A and B are shown apart, each in its own frame.
Chain A
Amino acid sequence: DIQMTQSPLSLSASVGDRVTITCRANQSINFYLNWYQQRPGKVPQLLIYAASTLHSGVPSRFSGGGSGTDFTLTISRLQPEDFATYYCQQTYSTLVTFGPGTKIDVK
């Protein structure tokens, strides 16, 4: 199976901060990398697919990058509704795997 890691696993930030989360695969997954946001008690929502394409309706403060094994999710100016857990997901393999999640909370 392809293993996904994320760093950090948690971070504290303030509204207006620039935040970057890293996701790493233990083998190349090309650009088959998606990012999801899950607010507390809510259903996960797609943010970014194919490593860097913003899903419809997602604010432009979110951006994704990377290819191969190393990927990033950046929130340019953190908003109150962005305090949530973020998951990366690889779909390169037929056995799909998620990263462990990165929780962003209020500093």
Chain B
Amino acid sequence: VQLVESGGGLVQPGGSLRLSCAASGFSFKDYEMNWVRQAPGKGLEWVSYISSGGTTIYEADSVKGRLTTSRDNSKNSLYLQMDSLRVEDTAVYYCARAEGATYRSDYWGQGTQVTVSS
């Protein structure tokens, strides 16, 4: 199992970024996925969940309406479209595979840094 995030970088407040997570080593279309972020020196914050088929999405209130999760099972890829970015969105963003009845995140990517600053 391998998850590789990309697309992070420095962006001004109000700007946009699109993160990608490339999955390999497992049947991506059969698994739910999560985005989790971690601000500098802070704890883990769940961002979103997407079902295996992409039809069900749950998002943290802190990102609702600004960060949009999607997936393309034909490309084994997960995405996070980040709009109207705020300074407080600065974090390392991880994609993680969700497994089983408790939707545990059993595999994580290495993370991609997003910095929102003027």
Contacts and interface: CB of A to CB of B under 8 A. Distances in A.
Interface stretch (A15-23, A45-53, A71-79): A45-53
A96 B94 CA distance: 15
Interface residues of B, dominant DSSP:
strand
A106 B34 CA distance: 33
Nearest to A101: B43
B72 interface: no
B96 to A, nearest CB: 8
B45 A98 contact: yes
Interface string B42-61: 01111001000000001011
A83 interface: no
Contacts of B94: 43-44
B49 A94 contact: yes
A93 B44 CA distance: 17
B111 A36 contact: no
B43 A46 contact: no
B108 interface: yes
B32 to A, nearest CB: 11
B3 to A, nearest CB: 10
B101 A50 contact: yes
Contacts of B111: 43
A58 to B, nearest CB: 11
A45 B43 contact: no
B105 A46 contact: yes
A101 B43 CA distance: 6
29 contacts: A32-B102, A36-B44, A36-B105, A43-B108, A43-B109, A43-B111, A44-B94, A45-B108, A46-B104, A49-B104, A49-B106, A50-B102, A50-B104, A55-B106, A87-B44, A89-B46, A89-B105, A94-B58, A95-B46, A95-B58, A95-B61, A96-B34, A96-B58, A97-B46, A98-B44, A98-B45, A98-B46, A100-B43, A101-B43
